[in-house]
Amino acid sequence: MKFTVSRLALQVLLLCCSLLSAIAQTDTSLIPFYHGVASGDPASNRVMLWTRVTPPNNSGSDIQVTWRLATDTGLTNIVKSGSIKAKSVKDYTVLVTVNGLQPNQWYYYQFTALSRNSLTGRTRTLPTTGVDSIRLAVVSCTNYQSGYFNVYRSIADRNDIDAIVHLGDFIYEYGKFGFGYDSTVNRVHDPKLETITLADYRRRHAQYRLDEDARKMLQQYPLIAVWDDHEVANDAWMGGADNHDPATEGDWNTRLAAAKQAYFEWMPVKKPDPTGDPGRIYRQFKFGNLIRLDMLDTRLQGRTEQLAASSPSFNDTARTMMGLDQRQWLTDDLKSSTAKWNILGQQVMVAPMVAFGAVLNIDQWDGYPAERNRLFSAFAQNNTKNMVVLTGDIHSAWANDLPLSGYSSSNRSASAGVEFVCPSVTSPNPLSNLTPALIKLFNTHVRYVDLSYYGYTVIDINKNRLQGDWYGVSTIKAKSFVTQYKQSWYVNTGEKYLRQAAAASVRSANRIVLPAPSQPQPVGPRLEYVPVESRLDLYPVPSSCWVYIDQLEEYLPEDMIQVTDMNGRMVLPAITVGQAIQLSASGIDVSALSPGVYIVTVSGGDGIRSSRLIRY
């Protein structure tokens, strides 16, 4: 038999295939905690716990959420517990401050809402005294449209890290098919247009947090994070951005406020000054007397606009990366520090990067020479010990000395400190027109540079040395990958320049703890059943107006039918099976939905059944 396919049908088929491959998976077994759990901003006696509850309907009502924290994976030895409400004004995100904890202790935590448990998360507090080593995984620049977050999965599976340090670009603002989009992977942004409003930024954060690999990494380790530019717009500064046009995208401060609000809602970050400066993110973390980690904001807090190197004002001392208040805060902090290692976590590369005498990137510290001089002077004037800078942004791997006057390959001690730059998670390399050999020819302080892979850096710190180990993933274009060790560099205490290590650092076996379980615990014995997920049969798919649920009459009348988008948000009012049967012949009206992919779920006493709905 000869089949003919109309042009319209073919277009619909191609659209459906594209949507199926491009939009994030929603794991319905996690209902209503589709976005997983996370913890962050640990202190010696405190940690922040985060989740989001997807509301079952569009009523806007608060949702009661309980939480508990224990010392074991089964959550039997509970040390803290409480309750909080998930509210629409905060996009149903929940952020709990848990105080009164023991230092240097691993904990496990869980949320409960709507008679369901979240994934169990694992977190830890910071040490106070007696700490001999710390391991940090450093990441940055995660563009959903560029590929899979295999780097996150690699870190999640290691089980030898104390905390994640994310140096910014946790999300990207571009619209569908924008910067970094790779058609071979075909992961497209939601919403499809560039993020400008609060609703836009919330949806984009939601999409990134639905990613399975992001969810797994954040489930296992506490997060210490700062933003860079793409959490708002490319090449941002305090008064605007290269990727912001007031004529078409509105007031910059309105957009900035929306982006910051969504960030603080969706990230496990504790505002350091919620009343005096609620938009501030620079803050400090103390790992006993071993490390003082200052997380800086060189992007939005006080940065003046980028200028071309040829501008008469390029060397103006009034131009700044940090702003006066943050600079003074950092100077005072360095002056008072008694830590063995003083580490700055920040966005853009501090070390110079020039070729033929020309500055190559005015968006990094090269573009603000007076501010960099002030930073190095602060190191020297305060006699700050063992200065180390952690950097992201540039989508490539670097190990740098921070050269002062007189620095050369034969006089490496003329250095202000050292810098470790992590590669990107997925964002493409912007320096494809350069080679490592050319970079090192003009920049002798660059000890290691690799522009070719995606990955992360493990920073291993003890009393005698601080070492950076670079790891890459074999691909971001497929879910199957292998982790590849690349290279290691270290700095000895009392020195200010890098040496190459022969091998990667290793966590002591007695410091490794059990990971958090991969699946949520069933709700307690008050339930007579454990919900089971299975397939729901829908027809026709694709559908234009009505979709019918096979054998709907076999469900209980009180069972609920819900339709959500791929971000877990309700897009139609929830109805009971009984109402659906009364209104139609075992179907639901989907004519109000925009073209796209959705999830239809029937839940009740017999468990959960769900299936995809394609609306064209």
SS3 293: strand
First to last CA, the chain: 28
Smallest CA-to-CA distance from 559 within 600, 606, 598, 599 is with 606
Residue 607's pLDDT band (boundaries 50, 70, 90)?
low
- In tens, the pLDDT along 383-397 reads 888 999 999 999 999
CATH number listed for the domain at residues 532-615: 2.60.40
State the Cα–Cα distance between residues 93 and 266, nearest whole angstrom: 7
Q: What is the pLDDT, as a whole number, of residue 40?
A: 98
- Indicate the SS3 state at residue 49: strand
Q: Which is higher by pLDDT, 571 or 354? A: 354
Q: Which pLDDT score is estimated for 9?
A: 38
Tokens representing 11 are 């277009």
Please count the other Cβ atoms lying within 10 Å of the Cβ belonging to residue 93.
Answer: 22
Residue with tokens 């993933």: 473
Q: What are the structural domain ranges in the chain?
A: 28-122, 132-511, 532-615
Task: Using alpha carbons, select from 380, 481, 470, 375 the residue that is nearest to residue 420.
Answer: 470
Q: How far apart are CA 205 and CA 231, in angstroms?
A: 9
pLDDT at 567 over 80: no
pLDDT of residue 20: 40
CB of 342 closer than 8 Å to CB of 491: no
Adjacency order of strands within the sheet including 163-166: 93-98, 47-52, 37-40, 222-225, 163-166, 133-139, 454-462, 465-473, 483-492, 499-500
CATH number, domain 132-511: 3.60.21.70
CA distances from 61 to 443, 486, 560, 572, 613 (A): 59, 51, 18, 16, 27
- The pLDDT mean for the chain works out to 90
Residue 11 has pLDDT above 60, yes or no: no
In the DSSP assignment, the letter for residue 389 is E
Pairing assessment for the beta strands 354-355 and 341-345 based on DSSP bridges? unpaired
For residues 514 and 234, the model is more confident at: 234
Q: Model confidence over 420-429: pLDDT tens digits?
A: 999 999 999 9
* 136-173 tens-digit pLDDT: 999 999 999 999 999 999 999 999 999 999 999 999 99
Distance CA 124, CA 117 (A): 21
pLDDT bracket for residue 459 (50, 70, 90): very high
For 369, the 3-state DSSP assignment is: helix
Q: H/E/C letters for each residue in 508-547?
A: CHHHCCCCCCCCCCCCCCCCCCCCCEEECCEECCCECCEE
Q: Give the C-alpha separation, 193 to 177, whole Å.
A: 9
The rounded distance, in Å, linking the Cα atoms of 594 and 616 is 8
Which is more confident, 142 or 12?
142
Cα angle vertex 387, ends 383, 388, to 5°? 175
Two domains, one topology: 28-122 and 132-511: no
Q: What is the 8-class DSSP label of residue 411? A: B
- The CATH architecture assigned to 28-122 reads Sandwich (2.60)
Show the tokens assigned to 181.
């989009």
The mean-pLDDT minimum among 193-207, 220-234, 562-576 falls in: 562-576
Q: How confident is the model at residue 527 (pLDDT cuts 50, 70, 90)?
A: very low
